[in-house]
């Protein structure tokens, strides 16, 4: 029997995003590679306009649903910035992020930072592909600057073959 798998990138991206937002990741990456992160087939215009004003609109598949809920519930103190939104906009964005959130987490993990998530650590840190020296480069600046190495990050494209670590 031949199986055909269609990879949906939004789920993984949501998981990574939420992981980089959280100070402490309580859950573990379940070790299952369910495909690369992808953006949902329908891009939410409200997410794009509100989130990308300060950073890329991280794909919802980078974090689990519980993380997105925490991020959206804490917009008044969003990593040192008041990113509050009108209730209707907040709910619309929350619904979208939760709907397309990552399914790569065991338990009820809810890290706020993608970079605190086990998946990020496995793929970037433990693999030795991303060192502190690389992160400190002026061209990179932080672990959450996905687009520094992943040119397709804003489109949910994290293909390892297209990674270019800047000098």
Residue 32 structural domain: 9-162
Q: Please list the alpha-helical segments (H only) found in 52-155.
A: 65-73, 87-99, 118-120, 132-135
Chain segment 17-71, per-residue pLDDT in tens: 444 443 333 344 444 444 445 556 567 899 999 998 889 888 888 888 899 999 9
SS3 content of the chain, % helix, strand, coil (to 5): 40, 5, 55
Domain membership flag for residue 36: yes
Contact 70, 112 (CB under 8 A): yes
H or E element at residue 56:
none
Domain membership flag for residue 1: no
Contact 102, 16 (CB under 8 A): yes
Domain membership flag for residue 151: yes
Chain segment 92-151, per-residue pLDDT in tens: 999 999 998 887 765 566 888 888 877 788 889 888 889 999 999 999 999 989 999 998
What's the number of domains the chain is made of?
1
**Residue 41, class by beta-carbon neighbours within 10 Å (0-12 exposed, 13-18 middle, 19+ buried)?**
exposed
Domain membership flag for residue 167: no
């Amino acid at each position: 029997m031949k199986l055909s798998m269609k990879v949906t990138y939004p789920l993984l991206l949501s998981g990574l995003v939420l992981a980089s937002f959280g100070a402490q990741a309580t859950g573990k990456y379940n070790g299952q590679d369910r495909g690369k992160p992808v953006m949902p087939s329908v891009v939410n215009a409200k997410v794009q306009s509100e989130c990308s004003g300060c950073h890329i609109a991280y794909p919802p598949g980078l974090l689990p649903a519980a993380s997105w809920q925490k991020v959206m519930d804490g917009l008044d103190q969003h990593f040192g910035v008041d990113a509050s939104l009108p209730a209707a906009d907040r709910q619309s964005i929350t619904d979208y992020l939760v709907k397309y959130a990552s399914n790569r987490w065991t338990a009820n993990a809810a890290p706020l930072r993608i970079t605190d998530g086990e998946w990020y650590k496995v793929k970037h840190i433990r693999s030795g592909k991303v060192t502190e020296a690389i992160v400190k480069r002026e061209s990179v600046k932080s672990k959450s600057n996905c687009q520094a190495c992943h040119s397709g990050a804003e489109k949910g494209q994290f293909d390892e073959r297209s990674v270019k670590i800047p000098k």
